[in-house]
Copies of this chain bind each other. A is one copy, B any other.
């Protein structure tokens, strides 16, 4: 697993860990029952505090992505993909709503937005 932790980012470190693990699960790189790194060794390899990793795992657990079994480690739990997808769709909708709001105020047209979106979608397609 490759993890990139940027201390320059405004996003807190624990959040960076959370999103990257979520992405691995959603992409299928991590499947149900797979084990996650032990907190201590993970923290060491990421060069962050143990507490930070612990916090990330706690959040993932609370959101149902992983399960921790004392003494045995941490594992990816079963996902209701449709539910996850729906939740993600909602957050994206909200974020997009904010962007549209700002765009209108600045007189950015619908067509300009489409162009921008098209570019961004193609770029990452590589």
Which A residues are within 8 Å of any B CB, using their own CB? 7-8, 12, 23, 26-27, 62, 67, 69-70, 72, 84-85, 88-89, 91-93, 95-108, 110, 113-114, 116-118, 120-121, 124
Question: Which residue in chain B gives the minimum CB-CB distance to A69?
Answer: B7
How many copies make up the complex?
A: 4
Provide the residues of chain B in CB contact with A91, threshold 8 Å. Answer: 102
Contact of A124 among B72, B100, B114, B124 (CB under 8 A): B100
How many Å from the CB of A57 to the closest CB on chain B? 14
Q: Let me know if B92 and A7 touch, CB within 8 A.
A: no
- The docked-state distance in angstroms from the alpha carbon of A27 to that of B104 is 9
> Do A105 and B7 touch across chains, with their CB atoms under 8 A apart?
no
CA distance A97 to B101 in the complex (A): 17
A120 to B77, CA, bound (A): 28
